[in-house]
Amino acid sequence: MKKRIGFMGLGIMGRAMAANLLKAGFPVTVYNRDKQKTLPLADMGALAADSPRQLADNCDVAILMVTGPEAIDELLFGIDGAAEGLAGKLCVNMSSVSPAYSRELAASLEAEGAVLIDAPVSGTKKPAEDGLLVILASGPEQTVRDLDDIFRAMGRKVVYCGPAGQGSMMKMTVNHLLGVMMHAFAEALLFGERGGLSMDAMVETIQSGAMACPMYQAKAPLLASGNYPASFPLKHMAKDLKYVLDTAYETGAHIPAAQAALGMYLLARERGLGDMDFAAVDKAMRDMLKG
């Protein structure tokens, strides 16, 4: 019999991930502060809980996919929070948080009799919809292995990263590279454009050599058009790069490229671009040239 899943957080990523669990035949109960977001999933067969605690009582595995620690703390430990109903159960946090917070969360849930699986994802909106995410899982290894059918309903690969907190460390490592790469891509194309090169020629050159990658291929049309529909909102990249810098301070890592990139993402957020795709760091650079 398939495990009963409780899914909290139905934003860009969570909605698609919960839908894929339903398509794979799992019994799913969903909760979201905005109840309107539960309706499409209810139409697919999900139950809609009135509170996180009700969701916890109705599941074997609770999954969270929300914006960060504040939302997680509210869902688990706030009024009608899920934590008290998770004794003897698993809580899988797939949200992007710092490694330090993940370790603290594991300890808090252990005090409630629950086990945390720290399992953020690599991938954005389209991979989430297609069930092609990469799951960066950490916690007790056998427990992670036992969740393989659940993870495989949402992703194409599961990478075991170590004890709780190491999944978040891997996620920050990936987003460190992603944020710096996007910043560098936008900067290089703007540099070439100011020197008289066409966007098409630059992208063709980059995609024809060792620097070719799917991310650049996907983001190039956004930069060319000046439209940045969100697959991964810029405000979330700024948040994650702040976690990266905080973690680097704790570990003693020297990361000047990430620090420079964070400054530009923060500037973009301050200019009202936070809800656009993180490729909108390009627009922030262009706006700087205008003064």
* pLDDT digit string, tens, across residues 179-211: 999 999 999 999 999 999 999 999 999 999 999
Q: What is the pLDDT of residues 22-42, one digit of tens each?
A: 999 999 999 999 999 999 999
Tell me the mean pLDDT in the region 257-270: 98
**DSSP count for the chain of H helices, then E strands:** 14, 9
Q: What is the pLDDT of residues 140-177, one digit of tens each?
A: 999 999 999 999 999 999 999 999 999 999 999 999 99
Residue 242 designated active-site: no
Determine if the pTM surpasses 0.85: yes
CA neighbor of 129 nearest in space, from 23, 217, 275, 239: 23
Q: Measured between alpha carbons, how far is 9 from 65 in angstroms, rounded to an integer?
A: 5
Q: Which amino acid is at 121?
A: V
291 pLDDT higher than 90: no
Q: Measured between alpha carbons, how far is 144 from 152 in angstroms, rounded to an integer?
A: 12
Given the residues 171, 219, 239, 283, the one annotated as active site: 171
pLDDT at 290: 83
